[in-house]
Amino acid sequence: MRICSIALGLVLAGSAMAESKNLSDIYNLAVANDPALRAQIAARDASGALGQQVRRGRGLSASASVSGEGTQNLKSDDVYRTGTLSMTLSMPLYDQGLDAKIESQDALVREADASLAAYRQTHIISVTDRYFAVLSAEQDLLAAQAEVEAFERQSEQASERLVVGIGTRVDVDQARAQLDLSRVGLISAEVALDTARSDLRQLVDAPILDLLDLGEGFVADLHRSLDDQPEMSVDQHPDVIAKQESHQSALAKLDEARSETNPTLALSSTFSISDTSGSNTGATNASARSNVVSVTLSAPIYTNGVSVAKVDVAKANVIRAEADLAKVRREVRANMQKAFRNLEASARTVEAQQLAIVSAASRVEATEAAYAVGSGNIVEVLNAKKDLFAAERDFAKARYTHVIRQLQFEQAIGDLSESTVLRINRYLVQ
């Protein structure tokens, strides 16, 4: 029976190991299942298709028509039928409005590409943040469980010391109070972990049982420095590129509005075949073929101020696009500096939290030794152990924060990509 239990335990452990997910696994699930990302991709594709649609208006177009009619001549009591087939080829020769519209839509396509690139970077941050939020909640739960176990032992020890006459009732009551508080914290940690897992599952649409954690090989350092030429990074940032293309589109729309008062020139050719049959009069039964080539020059003469109003609207949109571009450039520049300072701060925080573990462990040893010989009290021991659990938890969470700060810094620069996910993934272990 015991052998069967051991075998079953090994099978379950192997199953859990097989179901463990790393950051790349979660990211791939999010890319495949996140509807918000699919919506962004669809918006980019729609913009590209619209650009193709507008651009095709510059080339040759063809249309055809077929018609049939019956005629009854009451005077001659004659009935006959006429069928007509025609085909028209047309092409614009000169149309400034169409050229400006194509230029505007091309800029909007490039803006959609840049917006999608920016969203992909935000998506990487979102996936990584929720991934490590689960690990952070697990650390909170482990610390809470360790507190409960430690305080249970301390409560039992305090009761035993009271029985043999070397403890006090106050020690017992204080130990039990700390135990009750730690159990409340354990409940809160369990709820927080369930919430974090639910948030991650909402993103990837798949159950998540186990995640790989950061190994000891991960070093919380400044993996890259701030560029010596920040303006180059600003110009290459997808948010800035999107606003630049939006500005270019607004300028093209202004040209399109102004071109409505300009003439247009178009070339067309219409070839038609008609046949009449069934008439009692032989002259009526005939076939005809024709080909008409025409060049059409058209120009607006009076628009009642509509064209002027369109130009004014387009000018206002250009001013707004310029202001949006200037605003985004300032935000990107400021975010780069802010993200780098946060990265430096998180690196120092990880180092400080590591030293705090050493100090907290030394304090636990000292208080336990003092309490064992009767020169200390239970409160000092409980507080020291609580601080040690908190230091270990905070160290792990500080490393998670540093990972997020690394990604946020690369996003601030504008070159965050899936390669960063792979780099972080190499430090994850079972």
Domain layout of the chain by residue ranges: 27-58+95-263+311-429, 60-93+264-298
pLDDT for res 6: 34
pLDDT for res 59: 86
pLDDT for res 277: 85
CA dihedral sign of residues 247, 416, 192, 174: negative
The Cα 279–Cα 298 span in angstroms is: 42
Rounded mean pLDDT for each run of 10 residues along the chain, 430 residues in total? 37 46 92 90 93 88 91 78 91 90 92 94 94 93 86 82 79 85 91 93 86 89 77 89 95 92 90 86 82 90 88 94 95 93 93 92 89 76 83 92 94 91 89
Residues sharing a CB contact under 8 Å with residue 137, sequence separation 6 or more, in sequence order = 189, 192, 193, 195, 196, 197
DSSP 3-state assignment of 236? Answer: helix
Does the domain at 60-93+264-298 match CATH 2.20.200? Answer given as yes
DSSP 3-state assignment of 208? Answer: coil
Domain 27-58+95-263+311-429: which topology? Answer: Outer membrane efflux proteins (OEP) (1.20.1600)
The Cα 267–Cα 294 span in angstroms is: 6
The token pair that represents 283 in the structure block = 């002259």
The separation between CA 413 and the C-alpha centre of its own chain, rounded to angstroms, equals 16
